[in-house]
A and B are shown apart, each in its own frame.
Chain A
Amino acid sequence: MPVSKPHITVHDLRVGWGTRVLMEHITFQVDRGTIFAILGGSGSGKSTLLRYLIGLERPQAGRIDIDGVGEPHRYEGVPPFGVLFQSGALFSSMTLAENLALPLTRWTPIRGATAWELVQAKLDLVGLGPFARHLPGEISGGMKKRAGIARALMLEADLLFFDEPSAGLDPISAVELDQLILTLSRDLGITIVIVTHELPSIFLVADHCIVLDKVAEGIVAEGDPRKLRDESNIPFVHNFFTRSAPGVSADQGG
């Protein structure tokens, strides 16, 4: 594959609500076809950063650039990426098939049998083939997330964002989901950005990661998660990857 532009470039981004700044000077790049993890403890602003990347929030300062899209919050048109929200965010009054068909009815003229075929193919891809006519309330949490992935794939985006995909799942469902993420990346060549704090999942799937810390209000480390685990001498990063609590120190509240 020829050397290409990074899929996502974030330069000097500031993240926050109103006058409150959560993080500053966020700069990183996501290469095409890789699995990129955004890591950090609870409350470090990972999910907030994700909202900026998918264009739900306007940056207070700095710039996000998605290759071929530009700044996500200004973009209008066929969504160039899919998003899996933490809860799956399926529309509870629609069946799985109707949920998946929704992006098609908005952005394509595809209807009827062809639409059904495409929907069914995506459901089969995530292993939910037999559940097309079920309502979200009738399936398990792990299945909802897989259905959310299938819906995110409907418009054939080459970029997917996952918000804590394995949160609230049993270990087996979590591993199945990780396998699905690897399949999407390797077989379909999709660039994937995952927000998570699940260590097993990070070491299994992520090619590259950034670690956010709320005390430092920004990125404290960047690189291959396995290397960071073995080599990093930054205390927060070391504690994060080795699951050790910080020593007796007063500044590490709750």
Chain B
Amino acid sequence: MSVGIRTDREGDRARIVPTGPFDLAHATTAARAVENAEALLAGCDSVDVDLAQLDRIDGAGAVLLARLLDRLDADGHHASLIEGSNGEAARLIAGYRERRADQPPPQTRAMSLLARIGALAAHLPGKANEALDFTGRCALALPKAAATPNSVDWRSLPRLIQEIGADGLPVASAANLLVGLIIGFLGVSQLGPLGAAAYIPGLVVVAHFRELGPLVTAIVVAGRSGAGLASEIATMTVSEEIDALRSMGFDPVRWLVLPRCLALAATLPLLTWIGDLLALIGGLAAATAFSQMTPRAYIEATGDAITAGHLLAGLVETPFLAVAIGLIACGQGLLTRGGAAAVGARTTTAVVLAIFSVIVISAVFTFFFALLGI
């Protein structure tokens, strides 16, 4: 028999007869049947619910019928159960009726766009406060760490440099090589028709050394190590390890954050520098393959284009990018509250914020260099 509710109505008396299997597998159909039946009962004084025709009932089906009876009672109908031979169903329904808490269902009202902007803005001061508080504590940690070297986990430094630097080298190098290749291609397609292919090596050097090298490397590191550091510290926070550290008199900022920032600040310039070299190779490959330029001419022009200024203008910003990545990743990790989902959410936030702040800091440096004419 299929799931349904038969409704017989005589004046202000009605009799509803649920038929078929009222169980979890048929709950959607059953819920619709309950709704339909309820619509037909408007204006009735008394309603009898006859359970004799039910094939099968489980908790899910019983809840639907129990809530129907609750609503009928609340609307002033006189609802009663007719067990028939189905005592089990009656007990199940009664069981769910007794355990009803007076809790309205959660409001899942969709927020309007304006309300969402408002809610976002309301959160902003708190977030800014959190960030400034954390930055302040980190700044304070430096002199304290210098005074008490025991309070910093120096032993983890080689491992961190290995994980952030050496293990990240292949992907950072590949990214830089490809970016060099792209700049080379652009040079060939845009400068080539003007007969200015000789300027391609200079373009690659200036574009990559000053801007794209640090940026691309920092974005790769922010995605890779930022996620790793944030999730590691977030997991430690969730599993009470940070509380345990604090209870043993360790400052988590000095013990965990400082070595991570140091490792990043030590490795990011190196990765960038290696990335710069690979970008030159990428540029060389693009220019020699797609224009008349010989490798020898390219290398000589590159040699002329490289100046200490171009190299340093790029490298000088890398420690700042590194510290920003470290502070954001570790800060988000330490702010984690809750369980596994919170770890995931904080890691996502950390990566997004880290990549965004890397771009912002890079833009600020470019702006200042332009202002100072460097």
Contacts and interface: CB of A to CB of B under 8 A. Distances in A.
Contact of A77 (B101, B239, B249, B250): B249
Interface residues of B, number: 14
B248 interface: yes
Contacts of A105: 150
B150 A106 contact: yes
Contacts of B248: 79, 82, 102-103, 106, 151, 155
Interface in B238-255: 239-241, 243-244, 246-250
A82 B249 CA distance: 10
Contacts of A86: 240
Nearest to A161: B247
B247 A83 contact: yes
Contacts of A83: 243-244, 247
B246 A87 contact: no
Contacts of B366: none
A15 B247 CA distance: 19
Contact of A54 (B151, B236, B247): B247
A89 interface: yes
Interface in A186-203: none
A87 B239 contact: yes
B249 A107 contact: yes
Nearest to B232: A93
A85 interface: yes
Interface string A77-99: 11101110111011110000000
Interface string B96-131: 000001000000000000000000000000000000
Nearest to B150: A106
Contacts of A81: 247
A216 interface: no
A35 B110 CA distance: 52
Contacts of B247: 54-56, 79, 81-83, 85
A253 interface: yes
B101 A253 contact: yes
Contacts of B236: 91
Contacts of B240: 85-87, 89
A106 B151 contact: yes
B243 A89 contact: yes
A53 B25 CA distance: 51
Contact of B244 (A76, A77, A85, A155): A85
A167 B276 CA distance: 56
Interface in B272-331: none
Contacts of A107: 150, 249
B244 A106 contact: no
Interface of A: 51, 54-56, 76-79, 81-83, 85-87, 89-92, 102-103, 105-107, 148, 151, 155, 253
Given A77-B249, A155-B248, 14 more contacts: A54-B247, A55-B247, A79-B249, A83-B247, A86-B240, A89-B244, A91-B241, A92-B239, A92-B241, A102-B248, A105-B150, A106-B150, A106-B151, A253-B101
Interface of B: 101, 150-151, 236, 239-241, 243-244, 246-250
15 contacts: A51-B243, A76-B249, A78-B249, A81-B247, A83-B247, A85-B247, A89-B239, A90-B241, A91-B236, A92-B239, A103-B249, A107-B150, A107-B249, A155-B248, A253-B101
